[in-house]
Structure 1
Amino acid sequence: MGKKGGKRLSKREVADALQALFQAHPNETFTLKQIFKSLRLDTHPSKMLAVDILEEMAWDDYVSQPERGSYKLNLKTQVQEGTFIRKANGKNSFLPDDGGKPIFVSERNSMFAMGGDRVRVAMMARRQNHIKEAIVTDILERKHDQAVGTLQVEKDYAFLITEDNIFNHDILIPKKKLKGGKTGQKAVVKITQWPTTDGRSKDEAVFGSKSLVGEVIDVLGDQGDNNVEMHAILAKYGLPYKYPKKVEDAANKLTADITEEEIARREDFRDVTTFTIDPKDAKDFDDALSIRKAQGKGNAQLYEVGVHIADVSHYVTEGSIIDREAEQRATSVYLVDRTIPMLPEHLCNFICSLRPDEEKLCYSVIFVLDENANIKDWHLAHTVIKSNRRFAYEEVQAILEQNGVVDGTGEPAPPATKAKPYTGEYAEELITLDSLAKKLRAARFKNGAVKFDREELHFDIDEKGHPTRCYYKKSKDANKLIEEFMLLANRTVATFIGKAGKNAKTFVYRIHDQPDPQKLESLRAALVPFGYKVKTGGTRSAISKNLNKLMDDVQGQREQKLVETLALRAMMKAKYSTHNIGHYGLAFDFYTHFTSPIRRYPDTMVHRLLTRYQEGGRSVNQNHYEELCEHSSEMEQTAQNAERDSIKYKMVEFMADKIGLEFDAHISGIQSYGIYCEIDENHCEGLVGMHDLDGDYYEFDERNYQLVGRRHHKKYQLGDAIRIKVARADIEKRQLDFVLAE
């Protein structure tokens, strides 16, 4: 190997060969003589070159020298375990277990690891002016062994084309393993053979050892069919798209009948004014509010407000078949046109759902509040309720507005007079709750909570699942009313357990860490061109007050969306944990999820723990609950990704019959490869590629979020108004392409 085809070896070639040698034998020590022999270095210059490189590797901590003249891979710094993150663009990374920074892994060094796989990696020797790189040496645990894509059936074999081309190769499928699948159909495939470097299986004789081989486990149906596409999104994330029959059967045996003995054990709220407020298309009502007046000292006006939550844990017992399924799912998944429930339909839409005029079992936090929403007293109780009315948010909003509430001002309704009494169903109760909620909200922001009112994209869908309208849904006073009382209940029960400090029993908290200082610094730098300042140092509340001021200043400005997105990126993700660190975004020292047990498993865990501790039970095993918390956090993230994919799909589907039409839009994002534009009337976003920008060569000015033409100096800047024409709507890739209108 000393000379390659008569050519002297380059430094790069020798370095690569040395690296390959150490990685293939991570536990062996090599003398110089063994190294020269293994790499077939037989000329003096090539040996000297190898010695130079070995010295650099030792200096770089890539290898250690157990004794002079011998070298071994430095396992301590060079071999790490963690999670593999796969990206469709090939920019894969490795996330170390110890929480260190992600490290780049190129496709050729990935060993075909899938996203989420637990892997062992070796660090590659640092090349000059290159980023740190790792190479996967072992796959310790496969996270997923399934892929979703479109079948292509040839004469002798078939293959699966995955939508985001996450593999360098398509997955080959032997003809006998097709399960009746035909070309153009979507299918779920289980990978039965991963590419190997040694030891050939019987399929490898046909397909070769570098192939991915799989078998069809489910044919979803024809590409483009709405049901098929939604199931494909779920299957892509490993989420279930049908409910196991035996779990459904177990649920169907449960009865909603409540015995007299059960009522006697509970606090009775059946005669107290109670209602649910939910989205108009909701079926699973897991929270209700009750309100009645109470008298304080010296005739002070007090209000008893009950936050009543469906008592799921009364029906779903720990370890039962329904519980095991719910634990695995951990959350309901909300795609654009359907809900994939955590619990069987009979439970979530009938037995547990707090439907009007039906007696229901609840777990409730009962507050006594004064007129300024200060808590005078509270207690936790298992209750029985009977909702008087099921409201949609829009109905409550209309009642508030017809009585003088102006949405967005944060002001309650003016007092009723003889001449102008309140009008509308339960108007007095709703107005009182709205007024109390606004005081709770004001106190929260004063305490340092961060204001993030992100609007959500919504679709109106016809009976075939086709989107007919696309719009932003803003959170109004009626939504905020419910939100504040849910936050209050969640915070109160978490504080009740957590305030015992070192003696606190094991509990499930919803935690949110402070923003990442580096990301805050990036945010600060990014805002300079727009003339905004943001503090990156100081106390928690100083930073959040500063962020809130930024959110207020940017309202209605063309850069609003960008600034909100960047600020959101600087935030850490909220998650579940038994180790409490408080909730930064809400500015609460203790917070949990108690109010949605029908759709979130952590809330069910919280109900069980509270019941156990109320009855004097001992603390539970923390490690077991921490594992459940990690699983729930992971599933929440997965569900959000699936939801995002369904939105992208519907957006492209919505625009598919609008090819060639022109729209007013504004620039919503700028990248080195083109500009993202959001259509003003329907908020659909597409890309104008660099090659479609008019006759000039554009340079990407990353700091100022703009493209600048070299010759004519034309600028494309974030927030600019622009007229576009819809060029392509690729449903398979979920991509919209625009061109500039003439």
Structure 2
Amino acid sequence: MKKRSRRRGYFGDAAPEGAAPAARRSHKVAPRATAQAFVSVPGGLQAAEVLEVMSKVRHPVRLDDLVRFLDLSRRDKKPLEALLDALQSEGRVIRLRGGKWVEASQAQVITGVLSVQRSGAGFVTPDAVAEAGGEPQAVEKGRRKREGEVRSRPDIFIHPAFLGDAWHGDRVEVALQPGTQRHGAMRNPEGRILRVLERRQKELAVHVTRRTTARGVLCRPADPRLDFLLDTDVSALPEAPRPGELLLVTPQEKLDEGLWNATARVSLGLEEDAAVQERLTKLNHGIPLDFPPNVLAEAAELERHAQESPDMGGLPPLEEAKGAPSPDAVSHTSTAKRQDLRGVPFVTIDGEDARDFDDAVFVRPLAGAPEGVAWELWVAIADVSHFVFSGSRLDREARERGNSYYFPTSVEPMLPEVLSNGLCSLRPGEDRLVMAARIGFDSRGTPRTAAFFPGLIRSRGRLTYEGVQEALDHGGELLERHPFLRDAETLARLLLERRQARGSLDFDLPEAQFIVDRATGEVKDVERRVRLFAHRLIEEFMLAANEAVARFLTEKGTPFPYRVHPAPDPDRLSTLFRTLASTDLARSDVLHLKKGETPSPGRLRAIIKEAEGTPQEYLVGRLVLRSMMQARYSPEAGEHFGLASPCYCHFTSPIRRYADLLVHRALAFTLGASQGPVLAGHKLLAATDQCNARERAAAEAEREIGRRLGCLLLQERVGEVFSGVISGVTDFGFFVEFDKMPVEGMVRLTSFQDDWFEFDPDRQELIGVGTGRRFRLGQAVSVRLADVHLGRLEVNLELEGATDT
């Protein structure tokens, strides 16, 4: 059929009066002259014509529509698509989901950091944005910044086909796809990566394969989220690497689809070494190792200055003073003046292997004090903000790191050791600058008074949790030297009781402690770390100080990073209550909710208490935990659901958490002890986003190193039988946590030859269709270790026996 001539443009623009009809386009393809002079489609159609049409359409268009708008025939479709592909390579058009095209200037383009899942899909966390314009560096005292309210965008889903050449951790530019819905509700926005703005992984850990190349050897990244090969030059290594050896390489240019050039820097060794596994984990999560020379130089200058002239905040050495003032002589109100606290018998209480002591405590009972105060808690926190100024090289590096990272055999600190283990660490017998909180409680543990000030302390002792617990249980020399520990125990129990009464949730989950031979790197064993009351004692005091600082800064209107914990996800809560309704707890009053009622922290705590000592205890604890949202830092006030606290922040660990350092700066500014600046608006949002991202990286790294060392420990025990409990149920199998070690493995449904199973998400059960066997969360089982795959971090199990099946 003859194609009809177009007399009126698609956009309603009439053809000029007397204009000659368009000549029929020939179908000969013109050659591409340069990278900018794109190939023409038949008839001489140029890139400019295509871009002009797309700019007027103002919405994504399909290829068939473009053929029609440009008055082309069907046979022109493939050449037109080739032209569009060329334009896309230049960044001038974008191909969206479903084959639609849009001019680049019309697409919504944002930037963010890519996180690739093990499934191959990715999510981009957008950079912080502000609703309104710029934000000043400082904020007037007593007034919270309201202009330019800040917001965060949801993460953007990236289909594996739309990742392009981006890798996990890269900062990328993304074109958003049109909004989509799933089951009537909006889901995560989707996008396509346009280009990599910053390649975050400058080094990669790779496995040497058995294949050699003209340049060296073919290697595969150790991180399973990186799905490509590297043609690696190994000439710089002292000896040829062996298959299976781990190398640290610098990736270079892309050679072909799925193949990159790389140069080997150093051999990491064999993967059986725990230190090698730690190095791999650090690389996988972008955890920085060595500090840059200019940062170390700045820290060294602080150390040199301190050695020449110790900074005691204007206070004289004790030898020159008449003596340290007693606690009663210290200011009872908040002040900018640095207080001499060397007469307060502070002690630090930390783990046996701790080196960075950032908090010290003292407790005393009071009789007849004003406002009904019966107990006084003193908390002194290292004054890191006195040494690390906003915008300095140390500050920029600390912000980039976000927090310290702890591993079984190593630590990557947020601050150089000169500060973290030296100038800022509250070592016994040495004068140290602090920010202090003096909090008064009544006889029921309710806070009545609070005062904050910079101070100077001299710790009376470096105590350990184990030592303090021994003193509390059996007395002895330590309690004689520090008799206030008994008062500290009494106050801590009061605070714990009050916190639990208001509904605060406690998930006393076992923490794995790996025993590693540091000389050989061999993983010897793994134990559950014992949680003592001495741990709770310090925890209660730190919680009290954090709440007191958050209340004070909120009342004064100073912007600071809150620690917020949103209420549980409604869908997960619904699953929780449906599951519990099928257990022995069904008739309990704690499960009866009014229509539209959202369970309070107290209600969830009551459910946990109701299940204690019953067969449902494990099930209830896990389900309540899984219903929880993730706590995060936010520039906006919000409740901390898990603590049942309306106002909370992190103040007590500025040596190892950047958010705490920001709170210290806000407190010093509010007291008048500092001129600022204090972050606000989008600047504060950007800082909290960075803290959240690095906190997630630390948590993910902690989980990964646990799985890696667990795999190393179990590699030599294939074939053994273990007892355990079902810790997770899915539609493809169930996870089992071993009784004698906090390590998980999986029993896959494919290992059952005599039955097939249906998954009941409400009851968290797998039900055998043929046999009626049931596997549920919390059920005791015995399993045989079938195999261990370190590269995939898999521990595969086979069922030996189960109770109540």
Q: Deviations over 1:246-284 (max 9, x none)?
A: 534543441366457732463222232221111122111
Match of 2:698 in 1: 639
For the pair 1:525 / 2:583, whether they are aligned, the reply is no
Residue of structure 1 aligned with 2:314, choices 252, 262, 267 = 262
1:253-652 correspondence runs (5 A): 253=301, 254=303, 255=306, 258=310, 262-264=314-316, 266-297=338-369, 302-402=374-474, 424-426=479-481, 428-464=483-519, 465-500=521-556, 504-532=557-585, 534=591, 542-615=599-672, 617=675, 620-622=678-680, 623-652=682-711
Question: 555-564 vs 320-329, which deviates more?
Answer: 555-564
- CA 260–640 in structure 1, closer or farther in 2 if over 3 Å, else same: closer
Deviation at 1:595, TM superposition (A): 0.7
Deviation at 1:641, TM superposition (A): 0.9
TM-score using structure 2 length: 0.73
- CA 100–520 in structure 1, closer or farther in 2 if over 3 Å, else same: farther
Question: 71-80 vs 629-638, which deviates more?
Answer: 71-80
For the pair 1:668 / 2:727, whether they are aligned, the reply is yes
- Does the 8 A contact of 1:63 with 1:72 survive in 2? no
- Does the 8 A contact of 1:673 with 1:690 survive in 2? yes
Q: Deviations over 1:515-556 (max 9, x none)?
A: 222332233334343355657888999521121112223334
Residue of structure 2 aligned with 1:90, choices 86, 98, 120 = 120
Match of 2:268 in 1: 220
For the pair 1:108 / 2:161, whether they are aligned, the reply is yes
- Does the 8 A contact of 1:317 with 1:323 survive in 2? yes
Structure 2: distance between partners of 1:499 and 1:482:
26
For the pair 1:154 / 2:154, whether they are aligned, the reply is no
Structure 1: distance between partners of 2:608 and 2:716:
37
- Does the 8 A contact of 1:451 with 1:551 survive in 2? no
Q: Which amino acid aligns with 1:530?
A: T
Give the secondary structure class of the aligned counterpart of 2:560.
coil
Q: Deviations over 1:121-144 (max 9, x none)?
A: 454898999999946152363463
- Does the 8 A contact of 1:88 with 1:164 survive in 2? no
Deviation at 1:728, TM superposition (A): 1.9
Q: Which amino acid aligns with 2:544?
A: L
Structure 1: distance between partners of 2:482 and 2:594:
46
Structure 2: distance between partners of 1:121 and 1:563:
43
Structure 2: distance between partners of 1:179 and 1:123:
50
Deviation at 1:118, TM superposition (A): 3.7
Match of 1:415 in 2: none
- CA 355–24 in structure 1, closer or farther in 2 if over 3 Å, else same: farther
- CA 140–339 in structure 1, closer or farther in 2 if over 3 Å, else same: closer
Residue of structure 2 aligned with 1:238, choices 258, 275, 286 = 286
Deviation at 1:37, TM superposition (A): 4.1
TM-score using structure 1 length: 0.79
- CA 38–23 in structure 1, closer or farther in 2 if over 3 Å, else same: farther
- Does the 8 A contact of 1:62 with 1:125 survive in 2? no
- Does the 8 A contact of 2:575 with 2:762 survive in 1? no
For the pair 1:208 / 2:208, whether they are aligned, the reply is no
- Does the 8 A contact of 1:181 with 1:219 survive in 2? no
Q: Deviations over 1:79-112 (max 9, x none)?
A: 5646554222234456678867767544223324
Deviation at 1:216, TM superposition (A): 4.2
Gapped regions of structure 2 (runs ≥ 5)? 1-49, 58-64, 78-95, 128-150, 317-336
- Does the 8 A contact of 1:535 with 1:543 survive in 2? no
Give the secondary structure class of the aligned counterpart of 2:600.
helix
Deviation at 1:215, TM superposition (A): 4.1
- CA 169–530 in structure 1, closer or farther in 2 if over 3 Å, else same: farther
Deviation at 1:77, TM superposition (A): 12
Structure 1: distance between partners of 2:75 and 2:579:
53
Q: Which amino acid aligns with 1:86?
A: V
Deviation at 1:365, TM superposition (A): 0.5
Structure 2: distance between partners of 1:101 and 1:141:
20
Question: 135-144 vs 296-305, which deviates more?
Answer: 296-305
Match of 1:45 in 2: none
Question: 83-92 vs 96-105, which deviates more?
Answer: 96-105
Deviation at 1:308, TM superposition (A): 0.8
Give the secondary structure class of the aligned counterpart of 1:277.
strand
For the pair 1:708 / 2:767, whether they are aligned, the reply is yes
Q: Deviations over 1:297-325 (max 9, x none)?
A: 59988443210111222233333333332
Residue of structure 2 aligned with 1:186, choices 246, 265, 269 = 246
Give the secondary structure class of the aligned counterpart of 2:480.
coil
Q: Which amino acid aligns with 1:506?
A: P
- Does the 8 A contact of 1:23 with 1:73 survive in 2? no
Q: Which amino acid aligns with 1:454?
A: L
Give the secondary structure class of the aligned counterpart of 1:586.
coil
- CA 457–555 in structure 1, closer or farther in 2 if over 3 Å, else same: farther
- Does the 8 A contact of 1:515 with 1:571 survive in 2? yes
Q: Which amino acid aligns with 2:532?
A: K
Structure 1: distance between partners of 2:789 and 2:373:
61
- CA 266–127 in structure 1, closer or farther in 2 if over 3 Å, else same: closer
Question: 226-235 vs 662-671, which deviates more?
Answer: 662-671
Give the secondary structure class of the aligned counterpart of 1:336.
coil
Structure 2: distance between partners of 1:208 and 1:522:
47
Q: Deviations over 1:665-721 (max 9, x none)?
A: 222222233222222112321112223235333333343333333332222333222
For the pair 1:166 / 2:225, whether they are aligned, the reply is yes
Structure 1: distance between partners of 2:268 and 2:122:
29
- CA 384–541 in structure 1, closer or farther in 2 if over 3 Å, else same: farther
Match of 1:40 in 2: 75
- Does the 8 A contact of 1:150 with 1:163 survive in 2? yes
Deviation at 1:638, TM superposition (A): 0.7
- Does the 8 A contact of 2:67 with 2:74 survive in 1? no
% identity of equivalent residues: 26
- Does the 8 A contact of 1:272 with 1:291 survive in 2? no
Match of 1:120 in 2: 174
The alignment covers a number of residue pairs equal to 665
- CA 327–696 in structure 1, closer or farther in 2 if over 3 Å, else same: same
Q: Which amino acid aligns with 1:498?
A: T
Structure 2: distance between partners of 1:192 and 1:338:
30
Structure 1: distance between partners of 2:257 and 2:313:
67
Match of 2:89 in 1: none
- CA 697–35 in structure 1, closer or farther in 2 if over 3 Å, else same: farther
Q: Deviations over 1:488-521 (max 9, x none)?
A: 1111112112124xxx122222222222223322
- Does the 8 A contact of 2:373 with 2:448 survive in 1? no
Give the secondary structure class of the aligned counterpart of 1:499.
helix
- Does the 8 A contact of 1:513 with 1:583 survive in 2? yes
- CA 38–422 in structure 1, closer or farther in 2 if over 3 Å, else same: farther
Higher normalized contact order (CA 8 Å, seq sep 6+, divided by chain length): 2
- CA 551–180 in structure 1, closer or farther in 2 if over 3 Å, else same: farther
CA RMSD of aligned residues (A): 4.0
For the pair 1:724 / 2:776, whether they are aligned, the reply is no
- CA 246–129 in structure 1, closer or farther in 2 if over 3 Å, else same: closer
Q: Which amino acid aligns with 1:335?
A: F
- CA 288–710 in structure 1, closer or farther in 2 if over 3 Å, else same: same
